Structure 1
């Protein structure tokens, strides 16, 4: 009798333990988080003011399609973007120029991965009172090095030339030095320096005899009321002339990541170069990668 009672007790305890283990497993399973989508998470995109308008529109569209993604886009210049990625203050750094050109040190940027997302053209612009419509590269170089100081020296009216530079961290400025100045530095001791496109626009608008440069993507109808783009060696600044190879003042727009892009970083960069985003690229005045291959 005692043996039967003991056996029943053992069976009861065993069943209770097994049942409890299943219940426990059930609780653990319910607490397991679902695997996160590669399109979820929050990232900071920082850098080139020339690329900023496209990045902002693309981010808005991307977040509408991927509601678990948060993409913050800020300007600050190409140098700030690349530096931010290296220091970890942003996830993607936007730049008008390659990182090694910006920092002049291949070793320092060796861990960065370059993602070309579109092309961008630039134009030399002058104030509305300037009567000339075209300059050669040599004339522009002489103007920005202080060798030509009056518009009458290049076929214009007798009026002093006022230089408006971009700040040293500007990728647009480095592109200007590379493509127009052939690597030779401007004389930044003459004229004035402005931090970004909006400030350049305002300075050219209110300063008679002024000259500077802006991205074609920035030259909306509204901006064109304040500044006048001029031709380079007789070639009009346009995306069509860039893709045909007739106009040299342009560059790729780059998005840099520290190491290979992953998760929402990769998904957003992929969206930037996607066929779906080409409508934004062209509508905002940039050049799709498909037209630069």
Structure 2
């Protein structure tokens, strides 16, 4: 019985309840095992805009060139059209002669309108094989084009046979000449005459290979002493050299010329294995290859075809 004047028991009851609740909470948390989320998210976290970015697509594998067997027989009336690099004119012609002789009533039609034009004609279905003097680009590979290596070739630095420069050049000097940084022959040990640079058009596979091999991917110069030919043809380039010009061409096209000579680079001539400006030549087909293409490329890869390629290169 609570008497008047005694303190109220309610505060004591509330304090007891609070202490009991705190003790129970501490006991419960102490005996719990923490859960760790080990799930790895499969999508990138949202951007600041709240939208999850699209993951990049998996890279498309580059198709490898098929190994076509040498043909034992080719159907009468088979026709193979080849178009592309002027650097491969000799190879195309020697393989044409050998193929048509071994397989009567077949026809090989070679043309040389430049590597880029050969690729365009192949994609358009206007030729069966593109002969190119540079690697395929990723975009070209994505269009089911496959490149088969055919031969190794050197890009020669050429001058007129009567050019007064008697020595060779260093790679840096070659680069500086074709970028317009060196414009007088006296800067490289020659006579005090201006240098005329004769360049091939950008559609040329040799132009593109030169840009990668010699200029390390940089652009050609645009100085007034640099002239770019309108067509990718070696004969006009050689004629334009005179006594003060410099240009470049596939070595097999100039090695027997009497009006020009190739310059040594770091003391090495283009016919030596350590020459710095070497590249690979290719035949390109659209996958899957038709029977005519399979027959011709199989012939090109045969021992007889390889011997002809060496003779034509």
Q: Same fold by TM-score, threshold 0.5 exceeded?
A: yes
Is 1:110 aligned with 2:155? no
Is 1:63 aligned with 2:97? no
Q: Within 5 Å, which residues of 2 pair with 1:1-293?
A: 37=74, 40-100=77-137, 105-106=138-139, 109-127=142-160, 128-188=162-222, 190=224, 191-194=226-229, 195=231, 196-204=233-241, 207-221=242-256, 223=257, 225-238=258-271, 241-242=272-273, 246-284=274-312, 286=313
User: What runs of 5+ residues in structure 2 fail to find an aligned partner?
Assistant: 1-72
CA displacement 1:93-147 (0-9 Å, x = unmatched) = 11000120xxxx5267431011111111121011222323311111111111111
Cα 1:84–1:109 shift into 2, 3 Å: farther
User: What runs of 5+ residues in structure 1 fail to find an aligned partner?
Assistant: 1-35, 287-293
The DSSP-based 3-state class of the residue aligned with 2:87 is: coil
Relative to total residues, which structure has the larger strand share, 1 or 2? 1
Q: TM-score, normalised by structure 2?
A: 0.71
CA distance in 2, matches of 1:72, 1:64: 14
CA displacement 1:236-257 (0-9 Å, x = unmatched) = 111xx33xxx222111111111
Q: What corresponds to 2:16 in structure 1?
A: none
CA displacement 1:256-292 (0-9 Å, x = unmatched) = 11113231211111222221123322223x3xxxxxx
Query: How many residue pairs end up in the alignment?
Result: 237
CA distance in 2, matches of 1:39, 1:264: 11
Cα 1:68–1:188 shift into 2, 3 Å: farther
CA distance in 2, matches of 1:106, 1:248: 28
Q: TM-score, normalised by structure 1?
A: 0.76
CA displacement 1:136-186 (0-9 Å, x = unmatched) = 111111111111110000111111100000011100111111111111111
CA contact (8 A) 1:149 1:160 kept: yes
CA distance in 1, matches of 2:287, 2:176: 41
CA distance in 1, matches of 2:168, 2:264: 4
The DSSP-based 3-state class of the residue aligned with 2:111 is: strand
Query: Higher mean Cα deviation, 173-182 or 121-130?
Result: 121-130
CA distance in 1, matches of 2:249, 2:268: 16
CA contact (8 A) 1:132 1:156 kept: yes
State the structure with more CA Rg.
Answer: 2
CA distance in 2, matches of 1:174, 1:107: 15
CA distance in 1, matches of 2:123, 2:188: 44
Relative to total residues, which structure has the larger helix share, 1 or 2? 1
